[in-house]
Amino acid sequence: MKKILIKKGTVVFPQRGVLQDADILVEDGLVARVGKGIEDTQACPVNASNLLVGPGFINLHVHLREPGRETEENLWTGSRAAARGGFTSVVSMPNTHPPIDNPLLVRYLLLRAKEIGLINIFPAGAITVGLEGKEMAEYGLLKEAGVIALSDDGRGVQDARLLYLAFQYAQYFNLPFILHEEDEGLSRGGEVSEGKVAALLGKRAIPRVAEESLMARDLVLAFRTGARVHFTHLSTALQVELLRWFQKKMPVSADVTPHHLLLTEEDVLQWGSEAKVKPPLRSLEDQKALKEGVKEGVISILASDHAPHPLEDKSLSFSEAPFGISNLEIAVPLYAKALIEEGIINWVELWEKLSYNPALFLGLNNKGILEEGKDADITIVDPGTRKKVKVSDFESRGKNCPFENWSLLGWPAYTIVGGRMVMAEGSIVEDEFC
């Protein structure tokens, strides 16, 4: 593998909270040098002037649909979408067909990911067998096979005793949880948030308490057991308050998606099922509280819940259409719009939430930090060029996306994974970079 020399970039050091002008030399998959005025005539040069260079982005919540729904997305299309989106690593969710609840499937995913060799794919394993909420999966075997976390994403674990035991059992294997919170008794049959849009359209509502009550329960379970838990896709103001309160007592983290930061229930009126997601888009007040949570650091991670679905399914009636938004390629500029353009956080803080904090949560000690000897997983972002979202250009098979034609700043320009250039100037590097 050829060396890469990134020249004249503004380097982001999220762990120290600073930006510095520096060059970076990448060699043998690792960051070899960081400093000013580095020269190396043998290395492939990258001119990073006016660009931001930092540790690779890590997306804790991505649906790659393999095995079972490869026509909707698969490890290859999803890897390309991730690389284009500036993500060097993703956590793949286990709600596939069949679900990732046994070591064979985990090994299969890791083998495929290695064969494709574009980005790092870290599979999450199921909390319960078949995601059915009835019986614990074999966490020891899942961990041995390579899962990085446990999740029943798409569903909440309804049985408190089961999760209480799972929280204890998983600690033997040092496995953290990524929790989708939804009391199915409360959300039953719901399609949109409770509120004026549900009333206007006559749609069945998903009340806020569906997420809040299960989250409150699981915060208590985590407090009592000492489990490492992360709450994914927060959508309500009270969830932020719950988290704020419990963070005074124990380490616990959460993330928010770009769509919950940029859209509200009112967008369902315009976009119909393109804006049908779980948890549902909620009110402007909820959105403000989520942004405040990001600003304060209560929400310390940004994860996109990339959920590709075929347009045939999304064009069914609203009630029949599946939940989800495809966003892997545009998550970074969407976050930049929601958080940086609005003055809520700056680029260093954004990087911390997209790279350093998720690496810390996942225990990836050689990622999330740009310094000599660490993995050369690097994302380079162009903060100054505006571009329009063109869903038809997505590498992802999921074209279900309500952000078509949005004009955004902050697009990833280069993605380097394990010292290899996988995306350059917005396109996948098909052969050798230079």
Binding mask 354-393 for ligand DOR (x = CB under 6 A): ----------------------------------------
The answer to whether 255 contacts Zn ion (rule: CB under 5 A) is no
In terms of CB distance, is 228 or 278 closer to ligand DOR? 278
Measured distance CA(351)–CA(338) in Å, rounded:
14
Stretch that binds ligand DOR, among 5-13, 221-229, 320-328, 389-397 (CB under 6 A): 320-328
Out of 80, 84, 180, 228, point to the residue binding ligand DOR (CB under 6 A): 180
Q: Which residue has tokens 């549900």? A: 198
Q: Do 60 and 232 touch, CB atoms closer than 8 A?
A: yes
Out of 118, 186, 307, 331, point to the residue binding ligand DOR (CB under 6 A): 307
The answer to whether 218 contacts Zn ion (rule: CB under 5 A) is no
In terms of CB distance, is 197 or 277 closer to ligand DOR? 277
Q: Do 332 and 82 touch, CB atoms closer than 8 A?
A: no
133 binds, among Zn ion, ligand DOR, none (CB under 5 to 8 A by kind): none
* Amino acid code (one letter) for 118: L
Instruction: Using DSSP bridges, classify how beta strands 378-382 and 52-55 pair: parallel, antiparallel or unpaired.
Output: antiparallel
140 binds, among Zn ion, ligand DOR, none (CB under 5 to 8 A by kind): none
The answer to whether 176 contacts ligand DOR (rule: CB under 6 A) is no
23 is annotated as an active-site residue: no
Minimum distance, C-beta of residue 44 to ligand DOR, in the bound complex (Å): 38
334 alpha-carbon distance from chain centroid: 13
Binding mask 171-200 for Zn ion (x = CB under 5 A): ---------x--------------------
Single out the catalytic residue among 218, 305, 375, 382: 305
Query: Which of positions 148-167 make contact with ligand DOR (CB under 6 A)?
Result: 153-154
In terms of CB distance, is 306 or 367 closer to Zn ion? 306
For residue 57, give the nearest of 22, 29, 23, 82 by alpha carbon: 82
Can you give the binding site for ligand DOR, defined by CB under 6 A? 63, 95, 153-154, 180, 277-278, 305, 307, 322-324
Which are the catalytic amino acids? 305
